[in-house]
Amino acid sequence: MEVHGCDPALDDDRIRELGIVPGSVDEVCRRADVLSLHVPLTPRTRHLVDARRLDLLPDGAIVVNTARGGLLDEQAAHAALEEGRLHGVAVDAYETEPPRSSPLIGHPRVVATPHTGAHTAEAVHRMAQAAVGNLLDVLQGRDCRHRVV
């Protein structure tokens, strides 16, 4: 498998060192048989994968969003599924939580999980360690390493 990706925090040389073919979001979409999202939700990334970018994907592509709800325009993804342009969608994070009104829930070509993708024993352990580390940093007058703004 050839992996394509983009990361605004890394230069193209570093991306190549990681074994990834660098490109813009649009270039990655044009080449992605499977598009997997791994970005935070910000005003800039809301609907990062919208109708326009879904149209860039090859016919029969699969979109996986286990990162944050709101990255994927669920209405546009539903339309692409109905039109047969997308083969499937896997989603663990939704635009609205709980996802009562998501058009993706119940669709026969959608794998939908209840926002539990990160709840492994290892992940919960690491989150607890980070929380305690943050608390100790603040109590000892150091900058908080994992500050959420």
Instruction: Given the residues 4, 78, 109, 115, select the one marked as catalytic.
Output: 115
Give pTM, 2 decimals. 0.80
Residue 115 burial class via C-beta count within 10 angstroms: exposed 0-12, middle 13-18, buried 19 and up: middle
Instruction: Give me the catalytic one of 82, 97, 119, 146.
Output: 97
Predicted confidence at residue 100, as pLDDT, reads 84
Per the annotation, the verdict on 46 as an active-site residue is no
**Quick one: which of 54, 51, 4 has its CA closest to 24?**
4
Rounded mean pLDDT of 44-56? Answer: 97
- Check whether 145 has a pLDDT greater than 80: no
Q: What distance in Å separates the CA atoms of residue 104 and residue 60, rounded to the nearest whole number?
A: 17
Q: Is 68 a catalytic residue?
A: yes
Give the angle 98-54-112 at the CA atoms, nearest 5°: 30
Question: What is the identity of the amino acid at 29?
Answer: C
**51 confidence band (pLDDT: 50, 70, 90):** very high
User: Which is catalytic among the residues 53, 68, 74, 95?
Assistant: 68
For this structure, is 115 an active site residue? Answer: yes
What is the predicted pLDDT for the residue at 149? 63
